[in-house]
Structure 1
Amino acid sequence: MPSLDVSFFLTIALVAVRLYGAFNGILSDCDEVYNYWEPLNFLTRFFGKKTWEYQPEYAIRSWTYLLPYALLKYPLSWIQKSLEISGALSKGAIPAYTFFYLTRVALALSFTFAECCLADALTYISSELSSWFLLYQIISPGVFQASISLLPSSFALLFGMLSTASIVKYFRFDLFSHKIERDFISESKVIEDSTEPSIPDTNNEATPPSKASPSQGLSSPQMFLCAMYKGSLSRRDKFFALAVGSAAIGGLIGWPFALVLTAPFVVYVTISLLIVKKLPEPLAAINRRKWSIFIYFLAGLSCTYMVGWIGCLIDGLFYLKSTLVPLNIVLYNVLRTTKETGPSIFGVEPTGYYLLNLFLNFHVIFLMVLVDIPGIGSSDFKMGFWQGLAAYRAPLYIWFAIFFSQPHKEERFMYPVYHLITISAAVFTCKFIRIFGTPDKRRFFYHLARLAFFSVTVALGVLRIISVIQNYGAPLSAFKALAAQPPVHPDNSTILENVCIGREWYHYPSSFFLQSNQRLRYVENGFRGMLPGDFVEPSIHSLDGLRNSTYLDQEGFNNKNEYNPDFVYPNLDSCDYYIDINMPVDSESGEVSIFEKDGSSSNGNWQTIRCENMIDPDRSYGLAKLIYLPTTEIQYFKSFLANLLQNKNVVAIKGSPLYQKLTDRETYKLLLDSKPVKKLSEPETYKPLFENEQVQKLYTESMARVFEVDSKYQLAAKLPGKVFYHKFCVARRI
């Protein structure tokens, strides 16, 4: 199949998977909800939960980052009003969570665009490499989640892919310019050895030396090479500016730590320009190295300054003071950490945390990266060793070195290098498959190896993605049912309804799943850290009203993760809805529950309106906890196979003489007996072993454990592990 067809189908699959993730993907991080979805709800609907990071005193979250997403409310409101005016929909028929999914679609499509740009750039190195990169992007559970996350680290990943694409294209034209230099020198030697005269000068008068053109006296091929050389340098400079600009946007608007990923490329370019290399005079006049260094420095400084200045200006409007949020983030996380403040107060993890997490998010793809680490000295197809090191290898290893050494670890910290992981794995795959053959030599083994890689990676990726959605998708489904409930006070829709949540506060999917007259409240849940408070709701729903709220230093917030009882309701008396799981509560810590094991309400004042299955991670174990095991599909296949074997046509075929002859052992007796195999399974060989009393006792006990499982669950008992579920329920006061 031509590579164009493969790329086309992979692109279609990429778009389909990203859109599927936008509508079905989970919210894996409560920081994403409370630090980004809630402030976005405040920008668009003028209410929401507020974390201490948005206090002007600390100002370590950027409003600049959220503003582009807030603009999506205008096309949605126009569509909604048009449908209401036309009579196609009644007022309020479009739920508020429509904006949530619209934003996710925008995130997914933007992410897909960046992936396609990077895949297109990688075709310069190898079309096969580009195809493997796209495939690994499609079936990686980690990329599946990062592509729809409203997180600065995901934003940094998006612009990191654009930056890497520009870096690859920079090297494309840089290497091309070096090839032109070699060709120009070769052409000059040919002219020197030739007896043919140069192109005659048609001017009658000699040109003064001071006004001589650099192309004077050059042959036609040399003039053509000079023109190509000038064009390649111009394109190279363009992609340098795009690489630095994309990195600046991803770092200064998204996550500042992602700027370190561009450092190896900048160092490489600086060193390559400083290295003195004598060029022929016409080329030296075109490629002035000192001027290039100045232009590059000016371009990089301008990109960084402009992006930082715009961010500082917008954030200053909301915080009512001049502040540089990226600098505040670095100061809080690195330079001003103490025992009482800093990221470590939110938990520390061992070094193996990221290894396990990356294995779950990339399965065998991450193993390829680990295996490929010793191959750091090898060149990568059309890209040389130093270029490959600057483009994706060095940034990946620097990132690992920095964040593996940090005590506080979170999954989203690895987002900015996800594309570098898939590139590295794709390079390893291309090299490893070529051990078995090439498209021209030993084609069968080459395609067999490709099929094996494709089958294993796709199967593991799909099973992991299905497992995550099935096990953790309950909050989104349950809160959709809450959004569809009729008002508690139908006569007066302005009365606020309290939606209370207990132990599952960190699985809250955002206020986009609440109606405009509903507010989230916390009840006692045993948690003794810093819970979010509420933004001061502006009296005027306008930009000025928002700014009058965001610059307020509200009381009760702290950066020490200290518990504030003022943010928690003492009981359920003031609650109209309640969300919790049907698990035993710790009454000593004040936890309350109204749900039975089956999800029904144990309190006559409450009525369960929706329950969804959610994994119980403490009881679940084994492989079944990590990936989806298709036991139901296997049972369906067995039933289908049994029905197929009972089909009259199949029965007729099995009864035919030809089938009997093909399945008769005597037909193959000559072949089987031609190479007699020594029988190693004679009973006398193992008789002393089975007569041993300890062996017999161990065998009896193990078989008893196997068969003591109820026949209904024999299939599940044979699988490596099992998943247990509890109920994630929503109840309404009656």
Structure 2
Amino acid sequence: MPRNMALVRRSTNRGERPAADANHRNSANSSSESRKNDAFQVVTEEDEDLMPSKLYMIRAEQDTDWQPSNSAVLKILFSLRLSAALWSTISDCDEVFNYWEPLHLLLFGEGLQTWEYSPVYAIRSYFYVYLHYMPARLLYNILPSSKIGVFLSMRCLISLLTLAGEFALYQAVCKRFCIGVGRFFVLFSLISTGMFISSSAFLPSSFAMAMNMLSMAAYLRERWFWAIFCTAISGLVGWPFAAILGLPIVIDMLFIRGRHHFYYFFYFSLISAIVIVGSLLVVDSYYYGKRAPLNIVLYNVFSPHGPDLYGVAPASFYVKNLLLNCNFLVLLAPAAFPLSICCYIHYFPPTGVPRKFRIPVGSYWNGYVPVFLLYLTLAFWCLIFFSQAHKEERFLFPVYPLITLMAAIALDALQRLIERFRDESVSNWLWIVVLIFCCVSLSRTYSLYRNFNGTMETYKSLNEHLMAQDSNSKLDFSIRNDPLRLCVGKEWHRFPSSFFLPHSAVDKHGRKRRVHLHFLKSEFRGLLPKYYPTMRLPRATQEIPTEMNDQNKEEPSRYVDLDSCDYVIDLEMPEEKRTELEPSYGELTETFRRVASHPFLLSEYSHFFYRAFYVPYFTPKHTVFSDYVLYERIPPTKRK
């Protein structure tokens, strides 16, 4: 701010234009109470170090917008995040086979192993799984008879971590930017479909999302150690590529702040690295028998084939996902920089501000630096990931809060600018726009649950069927395999984890059997997982598995014959979609009988809009469902 200029700010109306008046200067020692009662607030050169206290205000007390209470925000966040844990579906098989299955191994001594966990490749770290093992073990002691109960409780705990990040970031935004931005942010975050599906996912990208929200909150409050530490946890424990989101901290501390911050950056980074990398090395050395924390970076960046063997998609893949999961927030977020900079300059005209290369510099811009750096980080992230051939929806999870925050900044700045120049309130129209966002997001969220929840419900039916111990039970394991064989073919990728397989199925005679998953040959030609060797830990994880490769080459040893299956779960497809390898098991009436079925959307036969969003009356008419079915083998003695 120039030394010879004083800005006047009307605290009672944020739509009023500030003015410069050298004759209305307040003393720097005047009390905060008298400042609140002044109709006009004036900044002199004595106030220069305090300005701006918030993004568009000279002092914090000038932010008189309505702010919901912390308890109300927490209650709503808690309700919606637990709803996500209980009702959101698993949309990515990597979540199951790379995280839920290793956790199942640590808890119960058995689970399916992917090539990433082979000691030969060691792409994944067990430390991330181990962090979840500790609360999962406690939950299992509380719920020893229900693995599904442990599964759902763990999802609730994961959601609570996301909740903590959202709430911390909301408070930091209100304090550093303004209440208006914070209010829009928490509302968008609450209702956003992207936050709903990512908040309870057992994925490193979801973990990175939560930790980066905590990191951003610490950064906005200038708590530098916690900002660096949370970023380090996000990148080293969660997902290495999420470290990109620490860019604002790096630039601010190394290039904008003073010399002390430069030294503190390296000091705090060193402490974080020692603590986190040391923990990683201890846990991974125990389970792998060797050090392997950087293998995922080496594979994805320096491997000759890397991740491009599958999941290759054009940039439109991310555009579609962002529009579906964030709707018009995607359109608002890019406008955050131009709208907010116009608003900021309009509130604090840079007349007489020192310039370098014709760009205003100095303490005048301190209030705006976080907005610009966060916006730059989002743009940098999109530039990197949109240009990569390998694309997956979960790669977007870490930037959902950034998109939400940028959209909130853009909408708040737009409201301020319109009210300034038109001298009338547009809050009613703005809340209509917000209401439309909420309706579209809720429509999308409900559509996901309605269309694809049949998978989990079918596996829950399997549990109920195998755990029935009443007098009406018809189960007789004397004619079954030990362990029981549940087989899946083309639907292998929708298996929701071994937590949905009973630890001990019980028949009418009280006989107990374990249940294992097996694969039927289908049209899929990639590499399927296999069970960890039956050994005690850590030998089971240190043993080098056979028939593994890092090139997604099919291994025929994974398949079993249909004649060996006790149960089959499959999605019934129309006749024209059936093949010799993917038949309709429901037509084998002499071999299998239906035990349970639940509706599941057939995307190819449904209208693209009405399958994406639920519209009452129209969606049921334009979507086609089939049955996700649990089949049981009929004993030979009961066949006709």
TM-score by length of 1: 0.69
User: Is the CA contact 1:167–1:265 (under 8 Å) kept in the aligned structure 2?
Assistant: yes
Equivalent runs, 1:328-367 vs 2, <5 Å? 328-336=295-303, 338=304, 341-367=305-331
Aligned to 2:525: 528
CA distance in 2, matches of 1:563, 1:355: 31
Q: In structure 2, do the counterparts of structure 1 residues 20 and 586 end up closer, same or farther at CA, with 3 Å as the change threshold?
A: closer
Count how many residue pairs are aligned between Structure 1 and Structure 2. 532
Alignment of 1:278-427 (within 5 A): 289=259, 291-324=260-293, 327-336=294-303, 338=304, 341-372=305-336, 374-375=338-339, 377-378=341-342, 384-390=367-373, 392-427=374-409
Query: Contact 2:125/2:292 (CA < 8 Å) preserved in 1?
Result: no
Q: Give the superposition deviation at 1:360.
A: 0.6
Structure 2 match to 1:173: none
Preserved contact between residue 168 and residue 217 of structure 2 (Cα < 8 Å): yes
Output the CA distance in 1 between the equivalents of 2:592 and 2:407: 53
1:576 to 543, 566, 570: 566
Distance 1:5 1:587 in 2: 55
* Residue of structure 1 equivalent to 2:153: 102
Residues in 1 aligned to 2:252 and 2:366: alpha-carbon distance in whole angstroms: 14
1:465 maps onto 2:458 in alignment: no
The answer as to whether partners of 1:122 and 1:165 remain within 8 angstroms in 2 is yes
Task: Give the match's secondary structure for 1:3.
Answer: coil
What residue number does 1:515 align with?
A: 502
Do residues 483 (structure 1) and 463 (structure 2) align? yes
- The runs of 5 or more residues in structure 2 that have no matched partner are 1-63, 348-364, 468-474, 504-513, 635-640
Alignment counterpart, residue 609 of structure 1, candidates 595, 600, 605: 595
Q: Select 2:485's aligned residue among 498, 520, 541.
A: 498
Work out whether residues 625 and 721 of structure 1, in 8 Å CA contact, stay in contact via their aligned partners in 2.
no
Is the Cα–Cα contact under 8 Å of residues 376 and 393 in structure 1 kept in the other structure? no
In structure 1, distance between residues paired with 2:623 and 2:403: 30
* Residues 355-378 of structure 1: per-residue CA shift (max 9 Å, x gap): 111111100111111343544745
Q: For 1:505-654, list aligned pairs within 5 A.
A: 505-516=492-503, 517-538=514-535, 545-569=536-560, 571-583=561-573, 584=575, 590-595=581-586, 602-631=588-617
Partner SS for 1:58: coil
Q: Structure 1 residues 500, 463: CA separation in 2 closer, same or farther (over 3 Å shift)?
A: same
Q: Is the 8 A contact 2:339 2:413 kept in 1?
A: no
- Sequence identity (%): 30
1:334-361 deviation per Cα after TM superposition (whole angstroms, max 9, x unaligned):
112x2xx311101311111111111111
Distance (whole Å) between structure 2 residues aligned to residue 577 and residue 383 of structure 1: 64
Equivalent residue letter for 2:613: I
* Cα distance in structure 2, aligned partners of 1:491 and 1:602: 23
* Equivalence for 1:271: 255
Q: Report the Cα offset of residue 609 of structure 1.
A: 1.2
Cα deviations by residue, 1:55-78 (Å, 9 ceiling, x for unpaired): 011111111001121122333343
Matched to 1:294, the amino acid is: Y
How far the C-alpha of 1:604 sits from its partner, in A, is 1.9
- The letter for the 2-side match of 1:400 is C
CA displacement, residues 153-198 of structure 1 (integer Å, 9 cap, x when unaligned)? 111001000000011001xxxxxxxxxxxxxxxxxxxxxxxxxxxx
Query: Following the alignment from structure 2 to structure 1, what is the Cα–Cα distance between the partners of residues 621 and 314?
Result: 25
Aligned to 1:152: 204
Please give the alpha-carbon distance, in whole angstroms, between the structure 1 residues aligned to 2:109 and 2:488. Answer: 21
| Match for residue 51 of structure 1 among 102, 105, 114 | 114
Query: Is this contact kept in 2: 1:622–1:722, CA < 8 A?
Result: no
Query: What's the secondary structure of 1:573's corresponding residue?
Result: helix
Q: Is the 8 A contact 1:621 1:721 kept in 2?
A: no
The code of the aligned residue for 2:324 comes to: L
Aligned counterpart, 1:183:
none
Contact 2:193 2:441 in 1 (8 A): yes
CA contact (8 A) 2:340 2:410 kept: no
In the TM superposition, residue 263 of structure 1 has moved relative to its aligned partner by: 2.3
Q: Quick one: which amino acid aligns to residue 245 of structure 1?
A: F
**Judging changes above 3 Å, is the alpha-carbon distance between structure 1 residues 614 and 492 closer, same or farther for their aligned structure 2 residues?**
closer
What are the within-5 Å matches in structure 2 for residues 33-182 of structure 1?
33-80=96-143, 94-124=145-175, 125-170=177-222
**Alignment partner of 1:23 is 2:7:** no
Cα deviation for residue 383 of structure 1 reads 6.4
Q: Give 1:131 shift.
A: 1.1
- Does the Cα contact within 8 Å between 1:623 and 1:720 map onto a contact in 2? no
Does the 8 A contact of 1:433 with 1:449 survive in 2? no
What amino acid maps onto 1:460 in structure 2? V
SS at match of 2:538: helix
Structure 1 residue 79: Cα displacement: 2.7
1:377–1:578 CA distance, 2 compared to 1 (3 A): same
Name the CA distance, whole Å, in 2 between partners of 1:586 and 1:536.
37
Deviation, structure 1 residue 45: 1.3
1:264-307 deviation line (CA, Å, top 9, x unaligned): 32122111245xxxxxxxxxxxxxx3x54323311112212321
Contact preservation (8 Å) 2:253, 2:265: no
1:642 paired residue number = none
Q: Which has the larger radius of gyration?
A: 1
Name the SS of the counterpart of 2:590 in structure 1.
coil
Residue type at the aligned position of 1:255: W
1:261 shift after superposition: 1.3
Question: How much does 1:318 deviate?
Answer: 0.3
Closer, same or farther: CA 383–464 of 1 in aligned 2, 3 Å: farther
Change (3 A) 1:568 1:373: farther
TM-fit CA distance, 1:26: 0.3
CA contact (8 A) 1:623 1:721 kept: no
For the aligned residue pairs, the C-alpha RMSD in angstroms reads 2.4
Deviation at 1:586, TM superposition (A): 6.7
1:454 counterpart residue number? 434
Q: In the aligned structure 2, how far is the partner of 1:299 from the partner of 1:5?
A: 35
Matches within 5 A, 1:191-202: none
Q: CA deviation at 1:588?
A: 5.8
Residue 123 of structure 1: SS of its match in structure 2?
helix
- In 1, Cα distance between equivalents of 2:602 and 2:75: 36
- 1:483 shift after superposition: 0.8
1:362 maps to a residue whose letter is C
Per the TM alignment, residue 432 of structure 1 is displaced from its structure 2 partner at its CA by: 1.6
- 8 Å CA contact 2:501–2:515 kept in 1: the answer is yes
CA pair 725-493 structure 1, distance change in 2 beyond 3 A:
closer
| Unpaired runs of at least 5, structure 1 | 82-93, 171-238, 275-288, 539-544, 596-600, 632-715
- C-alpha distance in 2 between matches for 1:2 and 1:247: 32
Partners of 1:264 and 1:68 in 2: how far apart? Answer: 28
Which 10-residue stretch deviates more, 295-304 or 244-253? 295-304
Query: SS at the partner of 2:600?
Result: strand
Contact 2:65–2:179 under 8 Å retained in 1 = no
Query: Secondary structure of 1:485's partner?
Result: helix
Scaled by the length of structure 2, the TM-score of the pair is 0.79
What is the alpha-carbon distance in structure 2 between the residues aligned to residue 614 and residue 249 of structure 1? 38
Structure 1 pair 348–292 and aligned structure 2 pair: CA distance change class (3 A): closer
